[in-house]
């Protein structure tokens, strides 16, 4: 059970790692955002991938989400913690707060949302898209580091790259959503198709634009908050990795068997090329 970490805005590398080496990983779905960092923390292997590439070179819609998830799967990861910056719709989630997301609302538009298609149809369940067991482990790691984390919250995934209008922001707030970002979808859905346990640690950097007195999300303000957020996120990630132990038990949420009843197309109708490509993420059932 290897832990994979996807670093979001501001988190492009990890420090104080043993046997650390950046390695390229090629997938049938193209190139991931960057090379993968293979390293050890207290004897436990982890794999790190900077979502926006080192130096933050990729906009959210430019990211090859399929290649990122496939690369981590091919690297042996079974569980993925995604770290992502976000805006807040809640007074109680001020800039600097952390949320372990348990639900997502997908409002992205121009992204490939599935590994399947091209002759093989599949439909996974996203009723509970975030792994409860993994969230619990992250919450424990945060508590050990003295970082307050809200375990549970709904993340609105927007297309970007522009931030919300006030009308959009107020609509999402009235709908009862908690935070907003640009990268958790289709990442979470693809992780489910790849039968990976997945959770998002969302770092609140701003109030989005629903407040009358606020000017709305601005990069300069976000970066000021992000520096402190990232420092806390690094501590949580290092604590999680340092205490990581393979449970040897199946995921209670069924993340590791998400494809058991998902593929509809009869095997005799599978195009060989499509099946070969899918084996990188769905080899257990193919």
On whether 205 is known to bind a ligand per the annotation, the reply is no
The length of the chain in residues reads 286
On whether 206 is known to bind a ligand per the annotation, the reply is yes
Dihedral, 250, 156, 117, 279 alpha carbons, nearest 10: -30
Q: How far apart are CA 32 and CA 175, in angstroms?
A: 34
On whether 15 is known to bind a ligand per the annotation, the reply is no
On whether 208 is known to bind a ligand per the annotation, the reply is yes
- How is the chain split among helix, strand and coil, in percent rounded to 5? 30, 25, 45
The single residue listed with the structure tokens 């193919």 is 286
On whether 51 is known to bind a ligand per the annotation, the reply is yes
On whether 183 is known to bind a ligand per the annotation, the reply is yes
* Catalytic (active site) residue 34: no
In 3-state terms, what secondary structure has residue 120? strand
Tokens of 248: 């040897």
Q: Which of 90, 93, 107 is nearest to 181 (CA)?
A: 107
| Catalytic site residue from 34, 35, 206, 256 | 206
Q: Which of 96, 82, 173 is nearest to 134 (CA)?
A: 82
* Catalytic (active site) residue 208: yes
Q: How far apart are CA 198 and CA 262, in angstroms?
A: 18
Kindly provide the residue ranges of all beta strands, DSSP E only, lying in 42-76, ordered along the sequence.
Answer: 44-50
DSSP element (H, E) containing 272: helix 272-282
| Catalytic site residue from 208, 212, 221, 256 | 208
Binding residues for substrate, by number, are 182, 206-208
Catalytic site residues? 206, 208
Binding residues for phosphate, by number, are 9, 51-52, 183
């Amino acid at each position: 059970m290897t832990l994979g970490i996807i670093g979001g805005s501001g988190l492009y590398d990890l420090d104080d790692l043993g046997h650390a080496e950046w390695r390229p990983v090629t997938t049938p779905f193209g190139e991931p955002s960057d090379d993968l960092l293979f390293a050890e923390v207290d004897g436990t292997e982890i794999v790190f991938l900077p979502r926006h590439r080192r130096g933050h070179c990729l906009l959210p819609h430019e990211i090859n989400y399929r290649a990122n998830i496939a690369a981590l799967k091919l690297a042996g990861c079974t569980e993925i913690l995604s770290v992502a910056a976000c805006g807040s719709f809640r007074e109680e989630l001020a800039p600097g707060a952390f949320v372990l997301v348990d639900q997502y609302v997908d409002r992205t538009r121009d992204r490939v949302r599935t590994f399947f298609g091209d002759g093989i149809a599949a439909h996974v369940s996203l009723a509970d898209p975030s792994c409860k067991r993994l969230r619990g482990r992250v919450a424990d790691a945060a508590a050990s580091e003295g970082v307050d984390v809200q375990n549970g919250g709904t993340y609105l995934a927007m297309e970007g790259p522009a931030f919300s209008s006030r009308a959009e922001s107020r609509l999402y707030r009235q709908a009862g959503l908690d935070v907003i970002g640009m990268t958790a979808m289709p990442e979470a859905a693809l992780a489910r198709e790849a039968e990976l346990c997945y959770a998002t640690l969302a770092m609140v950097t701003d109030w989005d634009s629903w407040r009358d007195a606020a000017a709305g999300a601005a990069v300069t303000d976000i970066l000021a908050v992000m520096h402190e957020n990232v420092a806390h996120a690094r501590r949580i990630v290092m604590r999680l990795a340092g205490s990581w132990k393979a449970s040897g038990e199946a995921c209670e949420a069924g993340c590791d068997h998400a494809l058991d009843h998902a593929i509809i197309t009869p095997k005799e109708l599978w195009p060989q090329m499509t099946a070969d490509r899918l084996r990188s993420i769905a080899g257990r059932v193919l």
